Structure 1
Amino acid sequence: MSQSLSRALDLLDLVSHGVDSLDALASAAGVHKTTVLRLLQTLEAHGFVSRDAAYRYHVGSAVFALAETARDTQDVRRAAAPTLRALGASTGQTVHLAAYDGGTVTYIDKVESRQPLRMYSRIGLPAAIHATAVGKVLLGGLDESELRRVAAGADYERFTARTIGSAEELIAAANLAAERGWAEDHEEHETFMNCIGAPIFGADGRVAAAVSISVPNVVLSHKGVLALLPALHEATTTISAELGYTGRAPFILPPAEKAPRKELHG
């Protein structure tokens, strides 16, 4: 850990325990006042401390927001865990749980596939917000202004020829996910992988997290992956109920492919 980061965390801890003046903080931390002031200014700029009219420092709103997000994430993980593992067991495929916070989508749980070919993804790592089913689902739960802000600032790295490449495309994909209750990554992040995702709703009716099923092409075709949508929806409905959601989540299946007409000869 860098010395500056370590000192900043020490200062934040001191502030949380009531040490609130520049002189007292410098004395308690054993650091020159100039250095303490610089670190406090950085913490203040990011909302981790605030300063009142008497130049006393207090814990900032960002700390409380971070704590609330962490608590919510843990609640979702606990509620989702049994259903995620049941979904992984019934499908035999990779199952992810992901959450959104401040413009970033992060994997917070994972059930490994029974297949020899496995996805390179890890709990705690961010997901490509424009090239994953969970990214589109979670964006679909944002209000319009937040959705547009995130889409405008996204890094549209082209992973495959199918990867979304603009804010307009991403906004459209997020809105479609919200309308039909699911999203897909059709070879958008990896050419050999298809993925479907659906939202988990919290007691307040907002999207709290997203669950996805990812399957290599050699295991199931794209059509075969879409056939897993009812199982995915059943899982997310169960988890949403565990979180206290009493509404009805949208769920519109893709239109069935029409069988080719047979020509009659005679």
Structure 2
Amino acid sequence: MSQVQSVERTFTILELLAQYPNGIRITELASEMDLAKSTVHRLLKTLSNRGYVQQTHNGHYQLGIQCLVLASSLLNDLDIRSLAKDSLELLAASSKEVVHLCIHDRQEVVYVDKVESNQTIRMYSQIGKRAYMHCTGVGKALLTGFKEQEIEQLITDKGLPVFTDTTITTKEKLLEELDMIKESGYAIDEQEHENGIRCIAAPIYDYSGKVVAAISIAGPIDRMTKERVNGELAVEIKKHSARISSKLGYVSN
């Protein structure tokens, strides 16, 4: 057996075991790989010695703790800004509008990255700036990951202050809006934070399905028309939010 072939078979074993969280018998594993049981046993023994595979009480094989150690190390080192950077630049280039990357912290939106538009625009945002969640596209996208009691706590702690005539000011309206965002996959800030500015945003998910960030495209309403926002920009931002989520290990159902 060549070294390369051994490596390939080793990864195949790990990938197959990942599909059987409760474990699988060696005979079934050998059958799926179309290999002799003795060959699979040698590979399993090596993996077991290194902690990547373990046996259950009934003799089934499953992934070992060392796989979790490696995964945790990788996930801890993932930098959302680095992973999202190329998508932000591509969105800015294609839309010719300002693109943001945001996270939530202490019930507020925090702008952590921004790619400027090459067109003239005046906006509230800058890297490190904070904003309310209920009145921004990125904030509402992030809120789709909140439980209802967390939203109630947000309203108790932060309120729903009014910024424009279109700002959401009631819990009922906010929950209704969040349901629509979950259905469509994107959020719209309909001049809810700044008059004359329209924004479209989408959530970003990590490997566990948790909403950890959001990206947005924003610009003046004469360029960010409703037709454009709900058409080409909706397609683009959902594509890139899915792309970034995938880099974080998210697998959609």
TM-score by length of 1: 0.63
Runs of 4+ in 1 over 6 A off after TM superposition: 71-74
Task: Check conservation: 1:73, 1:99, Cα contact below 8 A.
Answer: no
Superimposed CA distance per residue, residues 129-158 of structure 1 (whole angstroms, 9 cap, x where no aligned partner): 111111111111112221221133333222
Task: Check conservation: 1:106, 1:127, Cα contact below 8 A.
Answer: yes
- In structure 2, the residue matched to 1:171 is 175
- In structure 2, the residue matched to 1:241 is 246
TM-aligned CA deviation for residue 72 of structure 1: 6.6
- State how 1:86-235 maps to structure 2 within 5 Å: 86-227=90-231, 228-235=233-240
SS at match of 1:196: strand
Where does structure 1 lack aligned partners over 5 or more consecutive residues? 1-70, 249-266
Task: Check conservation: 2:78, 2:248, Cα contact below 8 A.
Answer: no
- Between the aligned residues of both structures, percent identity stands at 38
Aligned mates of 1:153, 1:168 — CA distance in 2:
17
Aligned mates of 1:152, 1:243 — CA distance in 2:
32
Task: Check conservation: 1:202, 1:245, Cα contact below 8 A.
Answer: yes
Superimposed CA distance per residue, residues 177-221 of structure 1 (whole angstroms, 9 cap, x where no aligned partner): 223211111111122111111011101111110011112023232
C-alpha spacing 1:230/1:159, structure 2 compared with 1 (3 Å): same
Superimposed CA distance per residue, residues 107-136 of structure 1 (whole angstroms, 9 cap, x where no aligned partner): 111111111123231111112211111111
Task: Check conservation: 1:195, 1:213, Cα contact below 8 A.
Answer: yes
Aligned mates of 2:235, 2:123 — CA distance in 1:
23
Task: Check conservation: 1:152, 1:167, Cα contact below 8 A.
Answer: no
- State how 1:6-25 maps to structure 2 within 5 Å: none
SS at match of 2:79: helix
C-alpha spacing 1:224/1:130, structure 2 compared with 1 (3 Å): same
Task: Check conservation: 1:151, 1:170, Cα contact below 8 A.
Answer: no
Aligned mates of 2:114, 2:160 — CA distance in 1:
25
Aligned mates of 1:83, 1:180 — CA distance in 2:
20
C-alpha spacing 1:161/1:72, structure 2 compared with 1 (3 Å): farther
Aligned mates of 2:100, 2:238 — CA distance in 1:
14
Aligned mates of 2:161, 2:227 — CA distance in 1:
26
Task: Check conservation: 1:76, 1:208, Cα contact below 8 A.
Answer: no
Task: Check conservation: 1:215, 1:225, Cα contact below 8 A.
Answer: no
TM-score by length of 2: 0.66
Superimposed CA distance per residue, residues 165-185 of structure 1 (whole angstroms, 9 cap, x where no aligned partner): 122222322232223211111
RMSD of aligned C-alpha atoms?
Answer: 2.1
Amino acid of the residue matched to residue 155 of structure 1?
Answer: G
Superimposed CA distance per residue, residues 38-61 of structure 1 (whole angstroms, 9 cap, x where no aligned partner): xxxxxxxxxxxxxxxxxxxxxxxx
Where does structure 2 lack aligned partners over 5 or more consecutive residues? 1-74
SS at match of 1:123: coil
Aligned mates of 2:77, 2:89 — CA distance in 1:
17
C-alpha spacing 1:150/1:73, structure 2 compared with 1 (3 Å): farther
